[in-house]
A and B are shown apart, each in its own frame.
Chain A
Amino acid sequence: SRSDRSSQAKPASAMSSDSASTNELSPELRVIRSLKLYFYETFFFMKKMSFFFACKYLAKDVTYICPFIGALRGTLTVTNYRLFFKCMDRDQSLALDIPLGVVSRVEKIGGTSSRGEVSYGVVCKDMRNLQFAHRQPDDTLKKSIFEVLMKYAYPISNSLAFFAYDYEQIFPENGWKVFDALAESKRQGLPNESWRISKVNDHYELCDSYPSTLVVPVTIPDEDLRRIAAFRAKGRIPVLSWIHPETQATVVRCSQPMVGVNSKRCKEDEKLLQAIMDANAQSHKLFIFDARPSVNATANKMKGGGYESEDAYQNAELVFLDIHNIHVMRESLRKLKEVVYPNIEESHWLSNLESTHWLEHIKVILAGALRIADKVESGKTSVVVHCSDGWDRTAQLTSLAMLMLDSHYRTIRGFEVLVEKEWVSFGHRFQMRIGHGDKNHTDADRSPVFLQFIDCVWQMIRQFPTAFEFNEYFLITILDHLYSCLFGTFMCNSEQQRLKEELPKKTLSLWSYINSQLEEFTNPFYVNYSSHVLFPVVSMRHLELWVGYYIRWNPRMRPQEPVHQRYKELLAKRSELQKRVEELRREVANKAASLTSERAGSPTRSITPVQTFV
């Protein structure tokens, strides 16, 4: 009956074979049972999920070579979602549980040992590496760990379906409804007399990586937008991301202009930027922030791209923000992993960290966003932000600037909207940058762009502990599910692809899960004060490596004593006291009432209410 339910829930093809394979493992069924018992204790969704889990592989006597503890013997299970290792040593309660989505690379290490064991290394996307040793099966028909992982960790490469399509869980809220482009525009007061909502990209004909709803100046008709699309890389025309509620200064995003070596111009594009400037009466200037180093921007001219010349765009000032490209960032993260995993070198920790340049990149990104926010807030000037394609650095900059400018995005739901809007709907290529289910781990298109964004947000949380409704755990959860492929939120590369794959129908949204237990993700220190702009200090003096994320696998990285916990204790104490004060107040009031009734002759007088301070 169990498999019935699950096969109803999904296309029959994959699942039927799954359940079949589970039955094939009947000799080890007892082990599975005990494991399942364990699962029941351990994982929330096991009760439901075990129906969807299809055990693809189970091996006993696997050695997990833990970099912190040493070799551990145990049982390794691989399902279509996860890799699970349970240590079977007597007094070890260690278990590893890793979604296959985090697996970047699986490799054999060395040859077969004298005991007939082969070592496998699993390189993960979440800053850790695993190593297993297992005896090569004598039966050549049996698959090795290596083969199993190579198959199920890479559904794309093996033409399998992502587990997200199988994952069913009832959440009280549908996270796919969190973001509605029109509702968000309405919140910002759009459309208004200067800005309209264009349906020109309704069927993704203008730009296949853009959302269908675009906010553009009223003075620019759709036919102009089509011409501009031809002039901007990948058709990513300048559109509004955010508008200042008071000054009407706007944050506009786009891709690079295709000026090329011949300095091509586009009248409509110039008109559009002029219209953006005109829509804001407070300023007669426009700032164009090119996220790239100027050298890179110039080099792009050879490939037909480039940047706006100040001759063509009058009253516009071009600023380069010096953020490096995806390849530099990938390399930096690779170095960072080398420095932090498995152990840090104590004597040279800071200089090693410095040599990765990771924090320096974080700093440059934050500094860029800060300059944008400063121009919009303090300078009351509209800004146009782009890089080359406008889906990596541009997304980082606009979303961070909006986080600084608009307190709404600092709430949990607001942040979800921000991610859905600036990243998901504007076509950050999650599939390509993360390489979901793709075995090509050396793919040059992979890059930790979104991770950097979340890191920057964490840096802001550190500097403003009361300004964000969400906590660090919220950010870590987002990053974990960036790789897990459990939810559809970060799958595919664009809104168009997502609709084509029917992700909102066939998968669950991460926000469904998060919004179903907001308390987990809430920062108790949050003080909601609206219309407050945050200007973080972008300096190495305050930037820190996010130990709680990058070095969390090291058991020695004990977190610092949480203040939040103590705060919750104090809250509990307060409500207890409030209750007791209230009880006593009533008691006294009753007593006073009975006293007055006893003294029948005395004039009735209203009882002085107890003064409460809360």
Chain B
Amino acid sequence: MRRSSTHRFSALFPPKSYMLASKTVSPTHPPSVFNIFFWEIVVNEANFVRKCIAAESSQDDLWGKLICTNFKISFITHNSIPQQKFQYVHHLLGEHDIPLACVDQVVTVNDAKGKQKVLGSNQKLKFNPTELILYCKDFRIVRFRFDEAGPESAKKVCLAIAHYSQPADPQLLFGFEFAQSRQYGSSGNIIERVNGVDPGGGCQTPLFDRPSDWDREIKRTGASEWRVCSINEGYTVSPSLPEYFVVPASMADLDLKQYACSYTGQRIPMWCWNHSNGSSLVRMSSICDVQQQRKLDQRVSSAITKSHPQRSEVLTSDLDKTLPSIQEVQAALIKLRQSCVIEPFEESEEKWLSSMENSRWTEYVRAFLRHAVEVVYMLEGKRVSVSLQEEEDRDLCCVVASLVQLMLDPHCRSLVGFQALVQKEWVMAGHRFLDRCNHLKKNDKEEAPLFLLFLDCVWQLMNQYPAAFEFTETYLTVLSDSMWIPVFSTFLFNCPQQRAEYSREFVHSKSIPLGNEQALKFPPVWDWSQQFTLKDQTLFNNPLYVGKGATCVQNGTVKTFRRTKQRNYSSTVRGVPSALKNGLRGDVDTLSRRNSLVARLRPDFSQAREVTETPCERFTREWFSRPTDLQGLLLPQLLPTHVTLWRLYFLRWVPEASISQGGAITAFHKLSLLADEIESLQNQLRQYNTSGGVGGTPASTPNPAHPEHGRMYFKCTPSPNRAASTPEYLSSSFPFSPVGNLCRRSILGTPLTKFLNGAKIWLSTETLANETV
């Protein structure tokens, strides 16, 4: 059982935690609280700052104090945001807080002088700013005005924000302070860690930092011809590989050590996953020693072949040749951001579709999904092992390896399975999160949103198969946002070795007594109670999920609810008045219905053969002609009509794009109520079954699992008569609130609103960068 999270943070909010309370606070609008961590330092602050809420008037603007700490930018106000109806509680961040790591660009403006400047670290500012615009990596844009603030303090706070959001040294990232405070707390007690999970964290995610995690994964996938190897203990062989990983059983440690020298980054081929048919997925870097290439290829291939029960050959999939480079992916995101949040809403409407196309973001999403489908075909269709190859094996391989497993392995579609997947193929495999997130703002060329791209791919699968995943798009979104809260080990380092090294150095420089521990222990992001209440965490649970632990599959009844219908997707062959093929009709229903205008033909497109069809396309087409088993292989539809913009993620901060009381969340709400009702019924049944036989009165015992601990965020009301209507605070941005971001407002989302009086302020980041004074 999960421990209540309220106590967890008492240690983090020691005496310094204070509240700026005003005398006249309306009870419905509590003042924002300024929480400060034990090791957090206030760097600078300015009073009488205005946070802009709307562009066309300053009427709703909030007045308060702008504070820059070494962790975040806070805005303390006594006002409440108008129109905001919902705000989830974040344990680490207040309503107006922006973590420094989330700041992409700091722009200062003096509108009287017509000057603006993109502020870098340690730069000078020759004018007094009247305005500060923060462009955030999570697509928010926040604007502050200093009309009433002292010019000097305004300037200072801007410079502080610019400086601290671009730390020169990884040790200045707040994570180190956080880990330190967390480990020792104010009371100095070391928090115990059991298998990578904090007690009470309620999270069973394996971190793959110990052999047992790999052993379990080998057993789970039935990879009997593979073994855990520990030659990299202490990172002596490869700096970017984990200490423990899995290799063919036939390969000796000595050989592995010898081969390592010939691979880029000494990355010996590393096992990812095994198919139940025996074929395996392996990832590796390129061989840098050209003379050794042939010999090595042969040896490694034969070893992988030996690990295949049918001794099938190994196919190599070269990702560098077929997929976009990380720079291209980064360029795509910049363009996408430009269209989504930076360009004026109305002006970008006309060319919206072509600007989406020009950004190439969804094109890249499709490319990665397509590549993963091809690998799936080799593993499943051709039953051969596949080795993914990329020069460094630390970027594209992460995306493809994890997508392949998501499609093939239903375990990866559960919450714990997904987190284990990210841990295995991203964190432990040495994806350069520090560089790709550009936390240190050192090298913009290294910045690339590959993890976001991966999450987008997952979202596409989820969008096409809403019942196949245990988690929701809200989960994917907050997971992505967690990248910009630099306290989680998950996204803070380039590889496990770097984590060990940096924390050792930090401990050394601060002369921290470590006791029995080797190094500072950074919390992984997977303990979600660090960020959210148990109640808010239920937003991660998908009411539709069909899988282990799903509401609907307990007591082994899943079979009766499995989709058995024949898919009617080829309406060409059907009579008109033809039917919608969206599966709104079950075939069983149709058969018994007399007045149906729909022809009950069984479309068979096994003959729908195009001349140029590749074996993989044939494999895909045949798969699509069969009913989907959500607990089996899942293939995405790759047509551009089916791979769409992830609206929740990219548009959640745009007020004009927020559908009030609409969006998919309203259907989700209805579903949640039903799932919750089913859950409570099941609990009642369980009660009867456990205590009913004794002849007592089972009903007198309180229901243990209801209503506080249900899986669903939305609870069904106990009264059966009142139809649950859609809560007013739901919107297509839920659980995020676009109000107060982007400094624009829309009235009920109508296009009547004229916004952007000062349109020229809303120049693109590129333009701004060029105009640097």
Contact = CB atoms under 8 A, between A and B. Distances in A.
Nearest to A366: B751
B652 to A, nearest CB: 12
Interface string B704-717: 00100000000010
Nearest to B575: A97
Nearest to B683: A613
Contacts of A612: 684
> Which of B349, B467, B573 lies at the interface centre, i.e. has the most chain A CB atoms within 10 A of its CB?
B573
Given A95-B601, A464-B666, A613 B609 contact: no
A157 to B, nearest CB: 21
Given A42-B599, A350-B357, A527-B726, A464 B661 contact: yes
Nearest to B702: A611
B354 A350 contact: yes
A559 B582 contact: yes
A527 B670 contact: yes
A535 B678 contact: no
B464 A560 contact: yes
B546 interface: yes
Given A466-B667, A560-B637, A580-B685, A610 B699 contact: yes
Contacts of A560: 463-466, 582, 637, 642
A565 interface: yes
Interface in A523-554: 525, 527-529, 532, 534-542, 544-545, 547-548, 551-554
Interface in B646-667: 647, 651, 654, 656-664, 666-667
A591 B695 CA distance: 7
Chain B binding surface, main DSSP class? loop
Nearest to A484: B577
A555 B608 contact: yes
Contacts of B658: 537
A129 to B, nearest CB: 11
Contacts of A363: 349
Interface string B592-608: 01111111111111111
B357 A349 contact: yes
A608 interface: yes
Given A344-B639, A558-B569, A581 B688 contact: yes
Interface string B539-577: 000011010000110000100010101010111111111
Interface in A353-377: 353-354, 359-360, 363, 367, 370-371, 374
Nearest to A591: B695
A541 B682 contact: no
A169 to B, nearest CB: 8
Contacts of A534: 661-662
Given A529-B725, A558-B637, A541 B597 contact: no
Contacts of A613: 677, 680-681, 684, 706, 716, 718
Contacts of A70: 609
A588 interface: yes
A81 to B, nearest CB: 11
Contact of A44 (B353, B582, B597, B657): B597
Interface stretch (A145-153, A255-263, A383-391, A468-476): A468-476
Contacts of B605: 68-69, 555
Given A484-B577, A539-B345, A557-B569, A92 B584 contact: no
A584 B688 contact: yes
Contact of B561 (A467, A516, A558, A573): A573
A556 B576 CA distance: 19
B726 A556 contact: no
Nearest to B748: A535
A541 B647 contact: yes
Given A471-B584, A584-B688, A370 B573 contact: no
Interface residues of A, number: 121
Interface in A157-196: 169, 171
A580 B607 CA distance: 47
A378 B675 CA distance: 37
B750 interface: yes
Interface string B467-492: 11000000000000000000000000
B29 interface: no
Contact of B674 (A477, A480, A574): A574
Interface in A57-98: 66, 68-70, 82, 89, 91-98
Nearest to B689: A584
Interface in B30-70: none
A553 B680 CA distance: 44
B467 A561 contact: yes
A463 B659 CA distance: 7
A570 interface: yes
Nearest to A87: B573
Given A94-B573, A529-B726, A536-B662, A513 B647 contact: no
B699 A611 contact: yes
Contacts of B723: 527-529
Given A93-B604, A465-B666, A540-B352, 13 more contacts: A42-B599, A45-B597, A95-B574, A467-B666, A472-B580, A537-B662, A539-B751, A540-B349, A553-B572, A556-B639, A567-B674, A585-B699, A614-B677
The 4 closest A-B pairs by CB, nearest first: A97-B575, A562-B583, A540-B352, A577-B681
Interface of A: 41-45, 66, 68-70, 82, 89, 91-99, 102, 126, 128, 169, 171, 344, 346-351, 353-354, 359-360, 363, 367, 370-371, 374, 378, 463-467, 471-473, 476-477, 480-481, 484, 486, 513, 516-517, 520, 525, 527-529, 532, 534-542, 544-545, 547-548, 551-574, 577-578, 580-581, 584-585, 587-588, 591-592, 595, 607-614
22 contacts: A43-B575, A82-B575, A91-B607, A94-B572, A350-B640, A363-B349, A374-B750, A477-B577, A513-B597, A517-B596, A520-B585, A525-B667, A536-B749, A537-B659, A540-B350, A554-B572, A559-B581, A560-B463, A560-B642, A561-B464, A578-B681, A614-B716
